Chain A
Amino acid sequence: MSLRRFIAVRVAATVPILFGVSVLTFALVHLTPGDPIDQMVALNPQISAAEEAAIRARYGLDGPVWQQYLTWMGNVLQGDLGTVISVDQPVLPYIMARLPETIALGLFGWAIALLIAIPAGIYAAVNKDTLGDDLSRVFALSGISLPNFWLGLMLILVFALWLDLWPVLAPDKPLLSADMLWYLVLPGVTIGTASSATLMRVMRSSMAEELNKEYVTAARAKGLPERTVVLKHVLRNSLISVTTIAAFLTASIFAGAVVVEQVFAWPGLGRAFVGAIVGREVDLIMAITLFTGVTIILANLLADIMYAVLDPRIRYD
């Protein structure tokens, strides 16, 4: 009951956050000059000034910015996210068509990050100051330092062009198929590397700290095997701080998707977002930004619920 209340409160708290995000994004978009109609007119010089004004009015792009914002907000509250002007298609189906691609990529990147980070972090903490720990440190430093667009290009160069293990472009197949899992590997690794490096360092330091606590000596004094001591007693305590960082990294996973989808020509939201910015598609930019905001808020909510599962001392009442 108390947990349910906690979730309700947190969900309600997303409303002011989303409002703030929408105001900021709307303002930023309008700080840059030009809109889709300007481009349309530039490409079709025969459009008269009267026609241009009519088109603007139709898409709600006339009037002062605050008025445009209110119009947009009014429409959103009625469930109308606006139009992608260049293709004259409503925003919602446009996003929905691309969303699964990005979710698949994001989750895969996530899984790769966790699969590398947690075992490597445990290994580094248990074997502190050994060669393995140093190697993991080098990996972490490179992982954080490599820009993901460069890493993506290098992976394509090595694994697609030289080794010919993957096609340069993923074929157009239904997303939910075993084949597609294979094509997810390169972009997934690209997106997950930086996050796994960060997570691994957090995992290592958190675990190293827990390993010094007295309950660990007490568990050893019970005669439990070292594996049980580490994987049962220490791991669960260490995961508490990892959860926080993992939730934070959701944002960087999405930021990664924007770049990586571009590099791998992945037909997801990230690529649509870049297109939307280039084409000044206000409605699309707003919708994707808000969607990202909701995702990050949900990830943090999930982290809060995870705390309560991992640590019995945390109660939301």
Chain B
Amino acid sequence: MALLEVEDLTVKFYTEEGVVTAVDGLSFHIERGETFGVVGESGAGKSVTALSVLRLIEEPGRIESGTVRFDGEDLLSMSESDVRDVRGNDIAMIFQDAQTALNPVYTVGEQIAEAVRHHLDYDDTAARKRAIRLLDDVGIPEPAARYDDYPHEFSGGMQQRVVIAMALSCDPDLLIADEPTTALDVTIEAKILDRLEHLAEEYDTAIQLITHDLGVIAEMCDRVMVMYAGRAVEKATVEELYYDPKHPYTVGLMSAIPRIGDEQDRLQTIPGTMPDLVEVPSGCSFHPRCPFAEEVCTRKQPALVDPDTGDAVGLSDRAAACLAYTGDLDSELDYEVEVTGRDAPPSEPQSNSRIHAPDAEQHRADSDPLPADSDPVGSDTDLLDQDDPDEDTGGQQDG
């Protein structure tokens, strides 16, 4: 039994503009002690998923259906007070922006200690001692003296450390980190991630790491789920995802990473933007932006399947949601993964593999999102060879 099993989770927001399906039939699981990445653009439903796991979705949002089993127990059918015992205690959350996640009128020490007193029944002195140790653990110098400081007396990086200490305070089994370093500059980001990884190991904590930064994923994660418009479009181990991405959206994300030595003048981008979730495109919601889209993509919603066999998958298997793998497309997905540097350490694959996808520029040349009936792959003579992606993987692994 996995630590966390989310099945068929659907979350809707009833706004004045219409019903927004922020998360649509999402399933995933997290094993004890592992680091699970959730990646996608803003608005893909990553944060809503995280808040749903803790049942912290607020009006006008509502969890419509699904189960969230933590240690075998369904959090969604528990009483409110039972869920409160889980929050902060078994599952804790690290928020994106420490500056807003900390209450400005209480000392940082108090904000760590209050959860300790509440969940672990520590008295004031013991809670204070534990909070000071946590501040020390996350790398705050002179923790005893800084216990009584207020959040505004800390720098952004130090505030984020406090938020991490707050999340670790009751020794949770699962840490949900929602873009924990997005608000920080790069050097501090590296230090914080390093510390987080180290502490997760020390406390044997599983992490659900939400980010839009593929570099962070490569650095930290064991398995990854790629989200688009509230759905999972690909699930894979981090190596599979970087060396052998299966979904066109993943491919687009990968090729959007600029690399040192690139001689392009422009950043490669995925054309268009994430759809308005009030009116999600019909069929595959990615089709208006997908360079491989065919007419069928506008009609048929792809299921998550095993990309090799096209069969339905269980919770834990490698999967991608693209019609290419169910035999619905006329053409193949033509992109090529090029891996440079043979003995690339798997922890940093993003600096060694590069992906050639049909250039976004070509499709943007004539128009914005793809008209439903156009056939982008028909005119691909100047694109890279149409290789079977599986062969690329083979080549890479041999090399």
Contact = CB atoms under 8 A, between A and B. Distances in A.
Contacts of B222: none
B104 A221 contact: no
B114 A223 contact: no
A224 B169 CA distance: 13
B101 A215 contact: yes
Which residue, A223, A236, A310, has most C-beta atoms of chain B within 10 A?
Answer: A223
Interface in A269-317: 310-313
Contact of A237 (B86, B92, B103): B103
A215 B152 CA distance: 14
A310 B105 contact: yes
Nearest to B80: A226
Contacts of A237: 103-105
Contacts of B95: 214, 217-218, 221
Contacts of B103: 215, 218-219, 233, 237
26 contacts: A213-B100, A214-B101, A217-B58, A217-B95, A217-B101, A218-B93, A218-B103, A218-B163, A220-B56, A220-B87, A221-B88, A222-B88, A222-B114, A222-B118, A222-B166, A223-B84, A223-B87, A223-B115, A224-B88, A224-B118, A228-B118, A233-B103, A237-B104, A237-B105, A313-B104, A313-B152
Task: For the complex of A and B, list the 5 residue pairs with the smallest distance between their C-beta atoms, beginning with the closest.
Answer: A223-B88, A223-B87, A222-B88, A214-B100, A222-B115
B89 A223 contact: yes
Interface in B43-91: 51, 54, 56, 58, 84-89
A221 B100 contact: no
A300 B102 CA distance: 29
Given A224-B84, A311-B104, 16 more contacts: A214-B100, A215-B101, A215-B102, A217-B95, A218-B166, A221-B87, A221-B92, A222-B92, A223-B88, A224-B88, A236-B106, A237-B104, A237-B105, A310-B105, A312-B104, A312-B152
B243 to A, nearest CB: 36
Interface of A is mostly: helix
A63 interface: no
Given A214-B95, A237-B104, A311-B105, A224 B89 contact: no
Given A312-B152, A313-B150, A224 B115 contact: yes
B119 interface: yes
Contacts of A228: 114, 118
Interface in A171-221: 213-215, 217-221
B7 interface: no
B239 interface: no
A313 B104 CA distance: 8
A225 interface: yes
B119 A223 contact: yes
Interface of B: 51, 54, 56, 58, 84-89, 92-93, 95, 97, 100-106, 114-115, 118-119, 150, 152, 163, 166
Contacts of A311: 104-105
A311 B101 CA distance: 16
A215 B100 contact: yes
Contacts of A215: 100-104
A222 B115 CA distance: 6
Contacts of A312: 104-105, 150, 152
Contacts of A214: 95, 97, 100-101
B152 to A, nearest CB: 5
A222 B87 contact: yes
A172 to B, nearest CB: 47
A311 B150 CA distance: 10
A236 B102 CA distance: 14
Given A214-B97, A214-B100, A221 B106 contact: no
A312 to B, nearest CB: 4
Nearest to B58: A217
Contacts of A213: 100
Nearest to B97: A214
A66 B87 CA distance: 73
A217 B57 CA distance: 9
A217 B150 CA distance: 19
Nearest to B93: A221
Interface string A44-70: 000000000000000000000000000
A221 to B, nearest CB: 4
Contacts of B84: 223-225
Contacts of B119: 223
A203 B253 CA distance: 47
Contacts of B85: 223
A225 B87 CA distance: 11
Contacts of B100: 213-215
A105 to B, nearest CB: 34
Which residue, A218, A220, A236, A310, has most C-beta atoms of chain B within 10 A?
Answer: A218
A233 B166 CA distance: 15
Contacts of A223: 84-89, 115, 118-119
Contacts of A313: 104, 150, 152
Interface in A217-258: 217-225, 228, 233, 236-237
A310 B150 CA distance: 12
A233 B86 CA distance: 20
A221 B54 CA distance: 7
A311 to B, nearest CB: 6
B105 A218 contact: no
Contacts of A236: 105-106
B171 to A, nearest CB: 13
B89 to A, nearest CB: 6
Contacts of B58: 217
Contacts of A217: 51, 56, 58, 95, 101
A214 B178 CA distance: 13
B386 to A, nearest CB: 48
Nearest to B112: A222
A213 B104 CA distance: 11
Which residue, B95, B103, B104, B115, has most C-beta atoms of chain A within 10 A?
Answer: B103
A103 B100 CA distance: 42
